[in-house]
Amino acid sequence: MDGIRARLVGLADGTVDRESAGGWAWVWVAERDTEVTDRRLWRHLDTLSGADSMVDPDTYLYDRTDFEDWLRELPPPAWFPAGPDSYRLLLDLAPAGSPERMVVTAAGAPDADGVAAVLDLLAERLVSVGYDGGWEEPNATGRRIEALIDVFGGLGEG
């Protein structure tokens, strides 16, 4: 799953080309299929193998928006202690290509600097989108961001 995640992150931020990502996945789907016993993994590999599909000689079928959607469909990395809905919100808050996106999509748990960077991003996003009108109570998104702050605060203590 980490290899799929890394390629989707690269496709979404433009650092991985479609042919290499699709080709990598295609090898698993077509040539090493007996080694893939997890149906969820198989589904994600099958989807990624189409990253370089074209509708005509000049037009790709999928774009960065599709790759972002595919990334959101993956389960969170093993180190992330909250659920998939929280992880999808985190992906929405950390822009593609940003240092924070690299932290939250990494295979391993973030170090102290990574935790601090994500906490800074979450605090900024809480202030910018987490309140409606007054500052008394956060809105629904703000409460979800506060929960993510608690998650990352816990990672920083560990």
- Cα–chain center distance at 110: 14
For residue 86, give its domain range.
Answer: 81-158
Domain identity same for 100 and 53: no
pLDDT at 158: 57
pLDDT confidence of residue 39? 84
- Long-range contacts formed by 54-62: CB under 8 A, 24+ apart: 60/18, 62/18
The reported pLDDT for the residue numbered 128 is: 92
Q: Which pLDDT score, from 0 to 100, does residue 31 have?
A: 76
**Which residues of the chain are under the pLDDT cut of 50?**
none
116 and 100, same structural domain?
Answer: yes
18-26 vs 2-13: helix axis angle to the nearest 10? 160
CA–CA dist 67, 131 (Å, integer): 30
Q: What phi and psi values does residue 59 have, to the nearest 5 degrees? A: -130, 125
Decide which of 54, 75, 96 is a domain's last residue: 75
Verify that 149 and 96 share a domain, yes or no.
yes
